[in-house]
């Protein structure tokens, strides 16, 4: 007799109904088992049809099936039929009792059914988990204790610019700029030795990361630790917050700068003036505050429209910045009003000279959407420390001097001392 060798343990199934089909299906997925044949009196039984699809021998007679398998002396027979004579027939062929049947097979079939159900549920859960990870909008990265990347979902691919094939197995530090890149291995070893970490368990920690193209960007990181199969892993949920940081910067900028001209607003200017006054006080310098109001702006705004008025204000802003020194400051404080601070002016004449330069610069025509227009400027000047040392009072005095300049015919400048002299003259009169 020729003994057949198989790649799996040889099995013969008697009975190809629901139980036999389920048993065959399970064995087909197991490399340790090789189903050599299946038998059932019903040629249309589910197990028979499944066996034919996989090239497994089928029989309608159990005894014939046993005879066909006699070349497999170590074959195990599963009797899922109701024929108790199968055991005796198997003994004739194989010479010993190797048949599982009756309650034994029923219990075995129930175990198989339960295992298949559990397997199905596990596969479903695993599929759902993989779908969640695959479709998550945040990047998910998993590393081992050596810092090697074991997981990298599509969102992480999009964030960093690496494909899974490129990144899996590499060290996480390649996603970090210096100095974090050089320090990463040390941080990881320190945690493994001491259990102390500043990152694990912290939600939404802001860090700087590195894309494949070398671009650094702000990233939000939430990291945690887990054990899987007796091994320690670290999982990071990452989010590119570039747009959020840019929005925050824009909001912060708008809180301190004029939306139209991008000049400092009143709040920022007063803060700048306070620092300028403190600096001038420490260094015994003189400074001047100029309060400027445009002459003729309302007429242009009313006749040509607000768009033209906005263009004019932008043009005035540009000319003001071109006229003063880089160390000086200018702000738009509302409507057509601007404030300037001139540091270390040395003399009153220098402040008057700058005011004259501004008036001359603004007197040149502006081109507003094809219309050439001209405006003037009335400027009031207050001085530190001659007239006032309080920043708020310096602004108020310059404002009062500006109104005197308007009363004096516009397109000119006046010092606050001229306001005081005008009051004294009125009182004497």
- Identify which has the larger pLDDT, 131 or 348: 348
Task: Say if residue 127 is exposed, middle or buried (CB neighbours under 10 Å; 0-12, 13-18, 19+).
Answer: exposed
Give residue-wise pLDDT tens across range 68-95: 888 887 888 888 887 778 778 887 877 7
pLDDT at 369 over 60: yes
Lowest mean pLDDT among 110-119, 145-154, 198-207, 263-272: 110-119
- Output the average pLDDT for the chain: 87
- Rounded to an integer, the average pLDDT of 206-229 is 92
Do 276 and 328 touch, CB atoms closer than 8 A? Answer: no
Question: Is the Cα dihedral 272, 277, 283, 288 positive or negative?
Answer: positive
Q: Which residue has the tokens 């075995």?
A: 108
Position 216 pLDDT exceeds 80: yes
What confidence category does residue 97 fall into, taking pLDDT thresholds of 50, 70 and 90?
low
Contact 290, 354 (CB under 8 A): yes
CATH fit for domain 9-114, picks 1.20.140.10, 1.10.760.10, 3.40.250.10, 3.40.50.720: 3.40.50.720
pLDDT at 109: 65
Of 31-40, 102-111, 304-313, 365-374, where does mean pLDDT reach its minimum? 102-111
Q: What is the DSSP letter of 298?
A: H
What tokens appear for 186 in the block?
């040390």
* Cβ burial 191-217 (10 Å sphere, 16+ → b, else e): beeeeebeeeeeeeeebebbeeeeeee
Task: Taking the CA atoms of 24, 27, 28 and 29 in sequence, report the sign of the dihedral they define.
Answer: positive
Q: Is pLDDT of 3 > 70?
A: no
Least confident residue range of 39-48, 80-89, 177-186, 250-259: 80-89
The pLDDT of residue 187 = 86
For residues 262 and 321, the answer to whether their CB atoms sit within 8 Å is: no
- 122 pLDDT above the threshold of 80: no
Closest Cα partner for 312 from 290, 328, 297? 297
- Same topology, domains 9-114 and 257-428? Answer is no
Query: Beta-carbon neighbour count of residue 152 at 10 Å?
Result: 23
- Residue 207 clears pLDDT 80, i.e. is over it: yes
The token pair at 326 is 């880089």
At residue 235's C-alpha, the angle toward residues 234 and 241, to 5°, is 130
Sign of the dihedral defined by the CA atoms of residues 422, 423, 424, 427, in that order: positive
Least trusted range by pLDDT, from 130-134, 235-239, 338-342: 130-134
pLDDT mean over 255-273 = 92
In the CATH scheme, what architecture does the domain 136-244 have? Answer: 2-Layer Sandwich (3.30)
Which pLDDT does position 169 carry in this prediction? 93
**φ and ψ at 295, to 5 degrees?**
-100, 125
pLDDT at 103: 64
Can you list the alpha helix ranges (DSSP code H) found in 284-329?
297-304, 306-323
CATH architecture of 257-428: 2-Layer Sandwich (3.30)
> What's the pLDDT score for residue 93?
79
- What pLDDT score was predicted for residue 102? 60
Average pLDDT over residues 375-396: 90
Percentage of the chain beyond pLDDT 90 is 52
Looking at the predicted structure, is the pLDDT value of residue 30 above 80? no
CB 339 within 8 A of CB 401: no
In this prediction, residues 136-149 reach a mean pLDDT of: 89
Indicate the helix (H) or strand (E) that contains 191.
Answer: helix 180-194
Sign of the CA dihedral 211, 216, 217, 219? positive
| Mean pLDDT comparison of 190-199, 221-230, 255-264, highest-scoring range | 255-264
Please state the domain extents for the chain: 9-114, 136-244, 257-428
Q: What is the pLDDT of residue 1?
A: 39
- pLDDT grade, residue 2 (50/70/90)? very low
In 10 A of CB 30, how many CB atoms?
12
Tokens of 83: 């024929």
pLDDT at 272: 93
* Helix, strand or coil, per DSSP, at residue 374: coil
Q: Are 388 and 382 in contact (CB under 8 A)?
A: yes
- Over range 354-376, report the average pLDDT: 93
Predicted pLDDT at 98: 64
């Amino acid at each position: 007799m020729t003994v057949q060798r198989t790649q799996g343990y040889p099995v013969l199934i008697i009975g190809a109904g629901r139980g036999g089909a389920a048993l065959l299906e399970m064995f087909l997925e197991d490399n340790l088992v090789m189903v050599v044949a299946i038998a059932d009196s019903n040629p249309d039984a589910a197990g028979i049809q499944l066996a034919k699809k996989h090239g497994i021998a089928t029989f309608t007679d159990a005894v014939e099936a046993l005879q066909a398998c006699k070349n497999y002396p170590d074959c195990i027979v599963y009797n899922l039929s109701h024929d108790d004579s199968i055991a005796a027939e198997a003994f004739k062929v194989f010479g010993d009792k190797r048949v599982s049947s009756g309650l034994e097979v029923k219990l075995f079939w129930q175990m198989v059914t339960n295992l298949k159900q559990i397997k199905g549920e596990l596969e479903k859960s695993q599929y759902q988990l993989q779908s969640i990870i695959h479709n998550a909008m945040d990047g998910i990265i998993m590393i081992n204790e050596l810092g090697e990347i074991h997981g990298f979902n599509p969102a992480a691919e999009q964030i960093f610019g690496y494909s899974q094939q490129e990144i899996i197995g590499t060290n996480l530090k390649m996603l970090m700029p210096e100095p974090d890149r050089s320090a990463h291995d040390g941080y990881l070893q320190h945690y493994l030795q001491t259990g102390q970490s500043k990152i694990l368990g912290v939600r939404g920690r802001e860090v700087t990361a590195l894309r494949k193209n070398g671009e650094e960007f702000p990233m939000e990181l939430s990291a945690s630790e887990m054990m899987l199969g007796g091994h320690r892993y670290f999982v990071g949920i990452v989010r590119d917050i570039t747009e959020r940081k840019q929005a925050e910067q824009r909001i912060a900028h708008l809180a301190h700068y004029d939306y139209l001209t991008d000049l400092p607003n009143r709040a920022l200017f007063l803060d700048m003036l306070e620092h300028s006054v403190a600096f001038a006080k420490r260094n015994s310098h003189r400074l001047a505050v100029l309060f400027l109001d445009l002459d003729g702006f309302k007429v242009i705004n009313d006749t040509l429209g607000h768009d033209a008025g906005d263009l004019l204000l932008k043009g005035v802003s540009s000319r003001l910045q071109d006229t003063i020194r880089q160390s000086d400051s200018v702000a738009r404080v509302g409507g057509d009003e601007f404030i300037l601070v001139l540091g270390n002016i040395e003399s009153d004449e220098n402040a008057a000279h700058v005011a004259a330069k501004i008036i001359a610069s603004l007197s040149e025509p502006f081109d507003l959407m094809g219309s050439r227009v001209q405006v003037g400027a009335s400027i009031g000047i207050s001085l530190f420390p001659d007239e006032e040392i309080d920043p708020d009072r310096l602004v108020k005095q310059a404002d009062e001097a500006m109104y005197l300049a308007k009363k004096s015919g516009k397109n000119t400048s006046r010092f606050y001392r001229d306001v005081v002299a005008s009051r004294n003259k009125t009182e004497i009169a």
